[in-house]
Structure 1
Amino acid sequence: MSNRTFVVGVGMTKFEKPGSREWDYPDMAREAGTKALEDAGVSYDAIQQAYVGYVYGESTSGQRAVYELGITGIPVVNVNNNCSTGSTALFLARQAVKAGVVDCALALGFEKMQKGSLGTTFEDREQPMLNHIKEVFELYEWTGEPIAPYMFGAAGREHMEKYGTTAEQFAKIGWKNHKHSVNNPYAQFQDEYSLEDILAARTVYEPLTKLQCSPTSDGSGAAVIASERFVDEHDLWDRAVEIAGQSMVTDTRDTFTDKSAITLVGAKMSALAARQAYDEAGLGAEDVQVVELHDCFSTNELLTYEALGLAAEGEGGKLVDSGDNTYGGRWVVNPSGGLISKGHPLGATGLAQCSELTWQIRGQADKRQVENVTGALQHNIGLGGAAVVTVYKPAR
C-alpha cells in the first residue's frame, strides 16, 4: 500500500491585531476548519483524527475548537510547540496518515493573543527557554528589551561580526516582506514601506527595527491530510498537493556547546531538518521555486537562507542584494508577506504557510502567484525548541 501523503484542503482566517475583532478561538477554528473541509470537498465525518495546535489556552481547547466542525468521537490531540505549533500539528497528522493509521486527518491551529510582546504565563516554575536565554546573555548585552527580539537580534549581530552582513541587508528583508503582503488579503498588514522607512522605524534591538519584527496576532489555519487511497476514492487529484518530505528536529548538543547566538536561535536545528526533509523528498533547494520560512525577525530570515541551502554559510546578505529572494529572482521567499507582515498567531503560523504553498502549487495564489511552481519549501521554528521543514510538490 502506498504511503504517499497529500494536502487536499486548506483554509485560514485573516490574521488580525489582537482585540481588533470581536471573535474567540472557536470562531477562528470554525472559519479556518470549514474553509479547509470545503476546499477538500469532504465533511467533518471523513476526519479520523484531529491535531489541534495553540500555545496560549486552557487544556482541551483543541476539542472545544473542532467541536465547531462536528462532534464525532474521534481522537483530538492538543499540540503546543511554541512558534512551531502549527507545523507540529501538520507533522503529526501527516505521520498518522503516512503510517497507515488513518486515511484522513485534520491539522488545525489557532491563537488568541495578548497585545504587546510575548511574555510568560506561569511565574512559579522554570521557564523552558531559560538555558537558551542564559547562553545568549553570556554573549551579548541585554538592556531590558523583550527577549525574542533580543535573542534574534543578537544572532543578527553575530552574523554581522562574522561575515560583514549589514543592517541594510536585514532591512531589505523587512522591505520585501511588507511589499509582498500588499497582495495578500489574509495579511494583518498590507502596507508598503520604503527601505528608508524600515531603517528609520523605532529600534527594538539593533539591528532590528519595529518593521523587521513580527507582530502578535489572532487567527487560525487548517489543513486536511489524506492518503493516496483516500484521494483516489474521493477523486481529489485536482486539488491534492503531495507532502514529499518532512522532518521535525529539536535541539542537539550543539545548541549549548557552540557558544553561538546563531545556533541558540535554531539555525542548526533548521539545517538538520532541511537535510532530512530534502532526503525524503529526493529534492533539494534547487528544485523549489517558492519558500515560506519563519521570519519572526528579519535576522532569522537571513539565517534561514543559509540553513535551508538557499545560500552558502555567511552569504545570506549576498542573496538579499542579488534579489534572488523575490519575484524575478531564483526563489520567491515569503510571498504571503511572511510573519513580519502577515502576522504570527503562534498556533496558526505553520498552517498558514501550508495554505500559501498549497495555493502556489495549485496556481491559486492570485497576484502573489509564482510562475511554474514544481516544488515548494516550508520552514517553521520555535525556540526551546523545534524546527519543522516540509517539502511539497504537485501530486501528479
Structure 2
Amino acid sequence: MTSKVFVAGVGMIPFRKPGSSGSYDEMGAQAVQQALADAGIGYEAVQQAYAGYVYGDSTCGQKALYRVGMSGIPVLNVNNNCATGSSALFLARQAVQSGAVDVALAVGFEQMNPGALKSAWTDRAPALERANQIVDELVGNPDMPKAIRQFAGAGLAHMQKYGTRLETFAKIRAKASRHAARNPLAVFRNEVTTEEVMAAPMLWEGVITRLMACPPTCGGAAAIVVSEDYARRHGLRMDVQITGQAMATDLPSTYASRDMIRVVGFDMTRLAAQRAYEEAGVGPKDVDVIELHDCFAQNELLTYEGLGLCAEGEGAKLVDDGDNTYGGRWVTNPSGGLLSKGHPLGATGLAQCYELTHQMRGTAQDRQVAGARVALQHNLGLGGAGVVTIYQKVSA
C-alpha cells in the first residue's frame, strides 16, 4: 500500500550566528510549533516524529519535542552528517507513504560552535577515515580544515579538468547574496558583488576565498507530512505533494576513481536525482526552482552537473548564461542557500523543504519564482548520504 504524501505544514526560525541563538531544544520546539500552526493541527495528531541533529547527545530530539508535548509517540533521532534534515524528512515521508501512519513530523536543529567543523570524538577512527586518506593523497595541505580541503579540492579538480575560473565560483556566491537579501530568515542578508567575493581573504590561494564557504549557523526547521486520506478527512491543505524522493550512499567510484569531484558525493547526487526524477515522472527540464547543497560555491557548480541540469564540465556555462537565477532557466537557492541563509547542519534539509513548500504555494513573497510548479531539493552529507526530493504544486 502506498499513499500520496502532502506537506501540510512547515516552520522555520531565523538562522543566527553561533552564540546569538537559543538552545537547540528551544529552536527545535519553536520550528515544530510553527509547523503545527501552519498545518492547523495539534501535536496530539502526530503519530511519529523524526528529529535530526549532528552535534548533540542521544535523545536530543525528545528534549526538543517534550517542549511541545509528551504524547508517548515514537521519536527517532537522525544523524546523517549534513544531510540529516532531509534524512529525517525521508523517513517521515516513507512512514506516511507506506501507510504505517497518517501524520509524521520531521524536525531538524543545530546549535553550532564558531569556526571549522570538528569531530566530537578523538579516541576512535573517524567515519570519513577512508575519504580523508584519499584527500591527503590527492590534495595535501594537511593543516587546512578538512571541509575546505574536500570541497575546494573538488573545485580545483573541476578547474584543472574543464578550465573553470575562480570568478565563476565568485559569481555563484554573489548570486546567493542577492537572493538572501530577500529572505528575512537568512543569517547574512548583505549583498556582495563578484568582485568583492574575489577580493575576500584567500583560504587557499587561487582556489577559494572566505566568502565562498558557508558560515557555521544555529537554527531549526520542521515539516508535517500527511496522507491523502487524512488530509481530506481533516480539511488540511493538499497543494504541495512530494512526488519523488530518493536517498543514495557512496558508490565504489567515490573512492576508486581517485577523483575529488567523486569523493565529495557527485555520484551519490546523480544516483539519487535519477531515482527521484523517475519516481516523480519528471526530468531536469521540468523543474522550475531548486534548493541545493551549496556548502561551498564550488559544490553548487558540481551539483548542477550531478543533478543533470547540464553535462559534466558545462556548469560554468550555466552560470555565465544566468540560468541559475531569476530570469534564467532555473532559480537555484532562492533562499540564499547555505552560503548566505546559513547551514545549521541538522536543520538545513528541512529549511530547504520550508523554502520550496512556500515556492509551490506561491507564498515566498519577494523570493517567489513566478509560475513555479515543480521544485527540487538536494541535500548532501559526506560519509555519505545524498537526498533528492521532488515537490509538485497541486491544483485545487
**In which range does the TM-score fall when normalised by the shorter chain?**
over 0.9
Residue equivalent to 1:70: 69
For residues 18 and 104 of structure 1, what CA distance do their matches in structure 2 show? 33
Q: After the TM superposition, list the runs of 4 or more consecutive aligned residues in structure 1 that deviate by more than 3 angstroms.
A: none
Aligned to 1:26: 25
- Cα distance in 2, alignment partners of residues 92 and 51 from structure 1: 7
Aligned to 1:170: 169
Equivalent position of 2:135 in the other structure: 136
Match of 1:8 in 2: 8
Counterpart of 2:236, as a letter, is L
Equivalent AA in structure 2 for residue 64 of structure 1: K
Unpaired runs of at least 5, structure 2 = none
SS at 2:108 equivalent: strand
TM-score normalised over the length of structure 2: 0.98
Partner residue in 1 for 2:296: 297
- Counting matched residue pairs gives 394
Distance in 1 between residues matched to 2:105 and 2:20, nearest whole Å: 28
Q: Does 1:216 align with 2:223?
A: no
* In 2, Cα distance between equivalents of 1:85 and 1:359: 21
> 1:188 corresponds to which letter in structure 2?
V
Aligned partners of 1:6 and 1:395 also within 8 Å: no
Other structure's SS at 1:138 match: helix
Cα distance in 1, alignment partners of residues 203 and 361 from structure 2: 38
Structure 1: distance between partners of 2:290 and 2:360: 11
Deviation, structure 1 residue 143: 4.6
Superposed, 1:352-391 pairs within 5 Å as: 352-391=351-390
Tell me what 1:226 maps to. 226
Pairs within 5 Å for 1:38-49 = 38-49=37-48
Task: Name the SS of the counterpart of 2:138 in structure 1.
Answer: coil
Deviation at 1:395, TM superposition (A): 2.8
Q: Which residue of 1 aligns with 2:245?
A: 246
- Please name the residue that 1:100 is paired with: 99
Instruction: Report the counterpart of residue 127 of structure 1 in structure 2.
Output: 126
TM, length-normalised to structure 1: 0.98
Match of 1:37 in 2: 36
Matches within 5 A, 1:256-271: 256-271=255-270
Check conservation: 2:15, 2:342, Cα contact below 8 A: yes
Q: Structure 1 residue 291: deviation in Å?
A: 0.2
Task: Kindly indicate whether the alpha-carbon contact (under 8 Å) linking 1:214 and 1:343 is maintained by their aligned counterparts in 2.
Answer: yes
Does the residue aligned with 1:196 lie in a helix, a strand or coil? Answer: helix
State the 1:13 CA deviation: 0.7
Q: d(CA) in 2 for partners of 1:73 and 1:121?
A: 30
Indicate the residue corresponding to 1:279 in structure 2.
278
Residue deviations 1:64-120 (CA, integer Å, cap 9, x gap): 111111100000000000000000000000000011000000000000011111011
| Residue 150 (str. 1) matches residue 136 (str. 2) | no
Q: Is contact 1:295–1:301 with CA below 8 Å preserved after alignment?
A: yes
Identity rate of aligned residues, in percent?
55
Mapped partners of 2:3, 2:165: distance in 1: 46
Cα deviation for residue 240 of structure 1 reads 3.5
**Secondary structure, in 3 states, of the residue corresponding to 2:186?**
coil
Query: Where does residue 58 of structure 2 map in the other structure?
Result: 59
Which is further off, 240-249 or 84-93?
240-249
Which digits, 9 at most, give the CA deviation of each residue in 1:285-310, with x for residues without a partner? 11111000000000000000000011
CA displacement 1:169-224 (0-9 Å, x = unmatched): 01100000011100000000000011111001111134221111111111000000
Structure 1 gaps of 5+ residues are none
Any conservation in 2 of the 1:326–1:332 contact (CA below 8 Å)? yes
SS at match of 2:105: strand
The one-letter amino acid of 1:242's match is Q
Confirm or deny: 8 A CA contact 1:231 1:240 kept in the other structure: no
Deviation of 1:376 after TM superposition, in Å, equals: 0.1
State the AA in 1 paired with 2:216: T
